[in-house]
Structure 1
Amino acid sequence: MAELAALEDPRARAVNERHGDDHGVNLGRLRELAKRLKTQHDLARELWQTGDSAARLLALLICRPKAFERDELDAMLREARAPKVHDWLVGYVVKKSPHAEALRVAWTADPDPVVASAGWALTTDRVARKPDGLDLAGLLGVIEAEMSDAPDRLQWAMNHCLAQIGIEHAGHRARALAIGERLGVLKDYPTPPNCTSPYAPTWITEVVRRREAG
């Protein structure tokens, strides 16, 4: 914890706080520390229990994802309110867990929109990597009915799923584009030069264009 405190950078904290995060550690330096520590699951659990966001991010880098029980991961997600901790927990740990599919189903239906956003993130991963068994038309129906009024974090996750369906599955592309155009979610999102807009029709069209161009 003392070493993490020594990595505190006021400029990094200012940038992170603009994104809703509450730590001031440069993530590159955090990764260097994790590389030195290597996998230490017991230490990861201790770091998580501190409740400190930087410590939790480090914990997610040095833990053993498959060693967590389902209920433990569920409890961790419900504690992880900082966006970066939430994203790393889902992306680096839950996706590698044998409980990922069960948690995906449970979280997507959860009344807490932050928890539900994790379920949608796992669904987006399945859309891209393991779509067999997913009801893609049904997912588009839910997105069409619910995305406009969803809270920000959940809306962002649903929008990513919409774009991923349109990108990966040509048979559903026209409908995904039409839903995105009709709802207009993130249409006016400020996008830096040379970055792809998160507005689903633009996102889908650009990624498909790049793939077809080789």
Structure 2
Amino acid sequence: MAELAELGDPRSREINERHGDDHAVNLGNLRALAKRLKTQQDLARELWATGDSAARLLSLLICRPKSFDRDELDTMLRQARTPKVQDWLVNYVVKKHPAVEELRLAWFADPDPVVASAGWALTTERVTKRPEGLDLPALLDIIEARMKDAPDRLQWAMNHCLAQIGIDHPAQRSRAMDIGERLEVLKDYPTPPGCTSPYAPIWITELVRRQLPDKSR
């Protein structure tokens, strides 16, 4: 914890706070520390228990994902209230766990929008990598009905799912585009030069274009 405190820097805190995070450690420095520590499950649990966001991020880098049980991961997600901690927990730990599908289904239907956003993130992973068994039209029904008024983090996760359905599933692309155009979610989101807008119709169009063969070759 003392070493993490020494790594803290005001500039990093300022940048992180813009994204809803509350720690002051540069993520590159955090990864370097994790590389030195290597996997240490007991230490990972101790770091998580501190409640400190930087410590929890470090915990997720040095833990052994399959050593957590299903209920432990559910509790951890409900404790992970900042975007980066939740994102790393879902991507670095939950996705590697045998109970990932069980957790996806439970979180997807959770009344807490922050928890539900994790369920949508895992659903988006399935849309892209393992769509067999998913009812894509039903997912689009939910997005169409709820995304416009969803809280920010849940709205972002649902919008990502909408875009990936349009990108990865041509049969659903026209409807996904239509939903995005009518709801106009993130249409005016400030997008840096060289980056793709998160507005679903632009996102879908650009990613599909990149997938098409270059006719000049």
2:83 alignment partner AA: P
Cross-structure match for 2:204: 204
Within 2, Cα distance between the matches of 1:42 and 1:129? 32
2:85 is matched with 85
Cα shift at 1:166: 0.4
SS of match in other structure, 1:147: helix
Deviation at 1:67, TM superposition (A): 1.1
Equivalence for 1:7:
7
Distance across 1 between alignment mates of 2:105 and 2:169: 21
CA distance in 2, matches of 1:82, 1:16: 10
* Secondary structure at 1:148 match in 2: helix
Could you tell me how far apart the structure 2 residues matched to 1:153 and 1:36 are? 33
Are residues 1:28 and 2:28 paired?
A: yes
Matched residue, 1:162: 162
Structure 2 CA distance, aligned partners of 1:82 and 1:37? Answer: 24
Match of 1:188 in 2: 188
Distance in 1 between residues matched to 2:169 and 2:93, nearest whole Å: 26
- The aligned counterpart of 1:135 is 135
The percent identity for this pair of structures is 77
- Tell me what 1:120 maps to: 120
The CA distance in 1 between the partners of 2:43 and 2:129, in whole Å, is 32
TM-score (norm 2): 0.98
Structure 2 residue aligned with 1:71:
71
Q: Distance in 1 between matches of 2:42 and 2:75?
A: 17
1:110-167 per-residue CA deviation (whole Å, 9 max, x = no partner) reads 0000000000000000001100000011000100000001000000000000000000
Query: Aligned pair 1:146/2:152, yes or no?
Result: no
Residue deviations 1:88-120 (CA, integer Å, cap 9, x gap)? 001111111111100100001000000000000
In structure 2, what is the equivalent of residue 53 of structure 1?
53
Which 4+ stretches in 1 moved above 3 angstroms? none
Q: In 2, distance between residues paired with 1:46 and 1:213?
A: 50
Equivalent residue, structure 1, for 2:103? 103
TM-score by length of 1: 0.99
Q: Distance in 1 between matches of 2:54 and 2:146?
A: 34
Take 2:161 and 2:75, find their aligned partners in 1: how far apart are those partners? 24
For this pair of structures, how many residues does the alignment match?
214
Q: For residue 18 of structure 1, report the CA deviation from its aligned partner.
A: 1.1
Structure 2 letter corresponding to 1:93: V
